[in-house]
Amino acid sequence: GAGVSQTPSNKVTEKGKYVELRCDPISGHTALYWYRQSLGQGPEFLIYFQGTGAADDSGLPNDRFFAVRPEGSVSTLKIQRTERGDSAVYLCASSLGSLKNNEQFFGPGTRLTVL
Amino acid sequence: AQSVTQLGSHVSVSEGALVLLRCNYSSSVPPYLFWYVQYPNQGLQLLLKYTSAATLVKGINGFEAEFKKSETSFHLTKPSAHMSDAAEYFCAVEDDKIIFGKGTRLHILP
């Protein structure tokens, strides 16, 4: 596709449930990033991939959060035992390579609501 | 660690007036700095980027920002505000990933 796509656009779940959020980066982009944006805040870095491997996962808040990118393209962010505090917009972005020389393109986000 | 601080969570200016959104950075090395804009119900869009090539950076929609090392600042300006500029603006710094500030919501008064 022309841009970064994310599915679903909205997800409502109950506390304690498991959710998966999907990101399709721009074709050919080797770097993929996940951010979380809570209401009234700036996006907060979670994890980024270079190819299939997680180059930096220092932003994941705890071990309930996990992300994969098995074939170096699509990525899935997985959240176990969801809590109300996980409610936020989850943003995915991709770039051709290093952000020093390449622009990062953002998807529209997935709005997660935990009841 | 790299970080940015945006001064003022809300800024209101009259249509046609100067827009000034403030950002200060903290970095141990020469930083790559960005301004992003987020219009209501839309995704993040890059306004401009500083990469040390020039201290005054021009972006889209008439915005520009000046890198001032002595002040560790990267303030965003636009000479004349339009109603369509109403949005959330984020200053950010590159640290292999993007580290965002908390954002400044710009309100344009008619």
Q: What is the pLDDT of residues A5-28, one digit of tens each?
A: 999 999 999 999 999 999 999 999
B43 in contact with chain A, both atoms CB, cutoff 8 A: yes
Tens of pLDDT, residues B79-102: 999 999 999 999 999 988 899 999
Per-residue pLDDT, A1: 53
Burial of B37 (0-12, 13-18, 19+ CB in 10 A): buried
Q: Which of B42, B49, B100 sits opposite A42 (nearest CB)?
A: B100
With b for 16 or more beta-carbon neighbours within 10 A and e for fewer, the B51-65 pattern comes to eeeeeebebeeebbb
> Which of B36, B44, B49, B91 is the best substitution to test chain A (most A C-beta atoms within 10 A)?
B44
CB-defined contacts A:B, below 8 A: 53
Tens of pLDDT, residues B59-80: 999 999 999 999 999 999 999 9
Average per-residue pLDDT for chain A = 95
Nearest CA-CA distance, residue A105 and chain B, Å: 8
The DSSP secondary-structure symbol of B30 reads P
Q: What is the spatial distance between Cα A97 and Cα A108, in angstroms, rounded to a whole number?
A: 21
For B47-72, give the secondary structure using H, E and C.
EEEECCCCCEEECHHHCEEEEEHHHC
The tokens of B69 are what?
A: 């090392």
Question: Do A34 and A76 meet the contact criterion of CB atoms below 8 Å apart?
Answer: no
Average per-residue pLDDT for chain B = 93
